[in-house]
Amino acid sequence: MTKHTSTCTVDPRIETRTSALRNIDSYIENSRNVDSCIASSAIAGPCKFASALFLMVLFFAAAGCGERDEADRQTGLLDGEGVAIEGAWARPGSEGGMSAGYFLITNFDTEADTLVGASSEVAELTEIHESYEREEGMMGMRQIDRLELPPQSTLRFEPGGLHLMFIRLQENLTVGDEIEVRLQFSSGEEQSVTLTVQN
Amino acid sequence: MIHPAKILITAALLLALTSGCTPQNEEQPGFSGASFQMVNQQGENIQFPDDFAGSPVLIGFIYTHCPDICSIITARLHQVWDEMDRSDEVQFVIATFDPERDTPDVLLDYARNFGMDNPPFTFLTGEPTEVERLMEMAGVRSEISERRETESGDPFYLIDHTDNIMLLDEDGRLVMDYGGSMTPTHILVEDLEEIL
């Protein structure tokens, strides 16, 4: 439930490294449970109590954002190099079908980087996608060609948002399998990441 | 000075308080009195909702080529089943709005991936006209948003769709219409236990 309550930046996908690490355990857990994208639903009748509670949690979390940002500034630059991936996992899938991959990606550098693509042998196509809500409650999915990673920040690939999309799987993905993905950056560099298949 | 994030989040939640999770009322569609000839993941004929009469039904609407939002909906039903004390008194149904691709075999593979290939989980597909009729009555909307070919030349398309999980009573009447991927498991569990 804490997953979406700690971000005070304009783009909800971007957060500081400190708050990202603070929440990584809950990210992994919530990514499975996905009690995450709660805010826009479920608020009538029996849902009202839980929603009111959730509103209070969010309000107080927002109230603390200023203090956290200040704390982050006082800690100075983040301790790390380049781009790091954590908490990577993927949905199970059947040969010929689809799957999605999720992780936290952090840019430790003081300059922005850009994720421009991904590839994997487990699927005919591996693309960066984003789920979003269109008008009138319609949910859509679109391909992202370039994804900027601001300096000293973390982006969340998570259910209901950014994700890697594996199109036409070349093999079955079952719980416990590990799949290799190569992420490509605008600098020309590539980085391998291992995703564990889980539900 | 009030932090802008406070204003934004409060406004978003006030908006949320007025939308979603719609309780049954005269404007909401239900399935009571209707009947649809469907096929389950084993290829067996299913009359919906007739064959589920006598039990509450939690039903989600998906297509299997949607690995993100629809996987959340599917997993959510499994989580509800897992967390309920009296889950043996509930039927859990997943219906596809993409019958051209979601054949019984495809649904069976998909169900296996989520550990949901056996009762009380039922995955439904059918003739496209019958599926369309079911979706129309449910108020589930979908439309192809992107159509292209993969590198191997196979046709491929994505579908934009509404995000629904619905709770039906033992007579197929709509009790609640939820934002499917966005509704916490515990709310579904609480609502189900309330009508058992």
Q: What is the pLDDT along chain B (196 residues), one digit of tens a residue?
A: 556 555 555 555 544 444 455 665 455 557 888 999 999 999 999 999 999 999 999 999 999 999 999 999 999 999 999 999 999 999 999 999 999 999 999 999 999 999 999 999 999 999 999 999 999 999 999 999 999 988 788 889 999 999 999 999 999 999 999 999 999 999 999 999 999 9
What distance in Å separates the CA atoms of residue B136 and residue B138, rounded to the nearest whole number? 5
Tell me whether the omega of the peptide bond preceding residue B23 falls within 30 degrees of 0, making it cis.
Answer: no
User: Strand pairing partners for B164?
Assistant: B179
What distance in Å separates the CA atoms of residue A19 and residue B163, rounded to the nearest whole number? 30
Q: HSE of A26 in the Cβ direction (CA atoms, 13 Å)?
A: 13
Burial label for A197, CB within 10 Å (0-12, 13-18, 19+), is buried
Per-residue pLDDT of chain A (199 residues; tens, 9 = 90+): 222 333 333 355 565 544 444 444 444 444 444 433 333 333 334 444 444 444 454 454 444 444 444 544 555 677 788 999 999 999 999 999 999 999 999 999 999 999 999 999 999 999 999 999 988 889 999 999 999 999 999 999 999 999 999 999 999 999 999 999 999 999 899 999 999 999 8
Summarize pLDDT for B79-93 with one digit per residue, the tens.
Answer: 999 999 999 999 999
CB–CB contact A34 B16 (8 Å): no
Q: Which residues of chain A does B151 touch, with a Cβ-Cβ cutoff of 8 Å?
A: 124-125
Identity at B80, one-letter amino acid code: V
Average pLDDT, chain B: 89
For chain A, which domains are there? Answer: 3-75 (no CATH), 83-197 (2.60.40.1890)
Q: Which residues of chain B does A140 touch, with a Cβ-Cβ cutoff of 8 Å?
A: 145, 158, 160
| Cβ neighbours of A138 (radius 10 Å) | 17
Q: Closest residue of B to A67, CA-based?
A: B3
Who contacts A54 (Cβ-Cβ below 8 Å, separation ≥6)? Answer: A1, A38, A39, B13
Q: Which of A93, A138, A168 is opposite residue B150, by nearest beta carbon? A: A168
Q: Which of B19, B109, B146 is opposite residue A40, by nearest beta carbon? A: B19
Q: Is B11 on the interface with A (CB under 8 A)?
A: no
- DSSP classification of residue A120: -
User: Strand pairing partners for A164?
Assistant: A101, A128
Q: Which of B9, B21, B78 is opposite residue A59, by nearest beta carbon? A: B9
Three-class SS state of A73: helix
- For residue A182, give the nearest of A102, A93, A121, A99 by alpha carbon: A121
Q: Is B23 on the interface with A (CB under 8 A)?
A: yes
Q: Produce one character per residue of B85-103: b if its CB has 16 or more CB atoms within 10 Å, e if not.
A: eebeebbbbbbbbbbebbb
C-beta separation of A183 from A193 below 8 A: yes
Q: Judged by CB atoms within 8 Å, which residues 94-153 of B form the interface with A?
A: 106, 109-110, 112-115, 141, 143, 145-146, 150-152
What distance in Å separates the CA atoms of residue B13 and residue A52, rounded to the nearest whole number? 9
Q: Which of B5, B20, B72 is opposite residue A34, by nearest beta carbon? A: B72
User: Best residue in A9, A29, A40 to probe B by mutation, most B CBs within 10 Å?
Assistant: A40
Class of domain B23-195: alpha beta
- For residue A147, give the nearest of A13, A10, A3, A8 by alpha carbon: A13
Distance from CA of B58 to the nearest CA of A (A): 15
C-beta separation of A152 from A166 below 8 A: no
Q: Closest residue of B to A65, CA-based?
A: B5
- For residue A35, give the nearest of B161, B28, B83, B169 by alpha carbon: B83
CB–CB contact A62 B18 (8 Å): no
CB–CB contact B178 A39 (8 Å): no
Q: Which residues of chain A does B76 touch, with a Cβ-Cβ cutoff of 8 Å?
A: 34
- DSSP classification of residue A169: E
Who contacts A151 (Cβ-Cβ below 8 Å, separation ≥6)? Answer: A107, A109, A110, A111, A112
Write out the two tokens for B131: 């599926």
CB–CB contact A125 B114 (8 Å): no
What distance in Å separates the CA atoms of residue B75 and residue B91, rounded to the nearest whole number? 15
Q: Closest residue of A to B6, CA-based?
A: A62
Q: HSE of B20 in the Cβ direction (CA atoms, 13 Å)?
A: 30
Q: Produce one character per residue of A25-53: b if its CB has 16 or more CB atoms within 10 Å, e if not.
A: ebbbebbebbbbbbbbbbbbebbeebbee
- For residue B127, give the nearest of B196, B45, B21 by alpha carbon: B45
Q: Which residues of chain A does B162 touch, with a Cβ-Cβ cutoff of 8 Å?
A: 137-139
Under 8 Å CB pairs connecting chains A and B tally to 181
Q: HSE of B64 in the Cβ direction (CA atoms, 13 Å)?
A: 30
CB–CB contact A43 B176 (8 Å): no
Reported as type and span, the H/E element at residue A101 is strand A98-107
CB–CB contact B20 A166 (8 Å): no
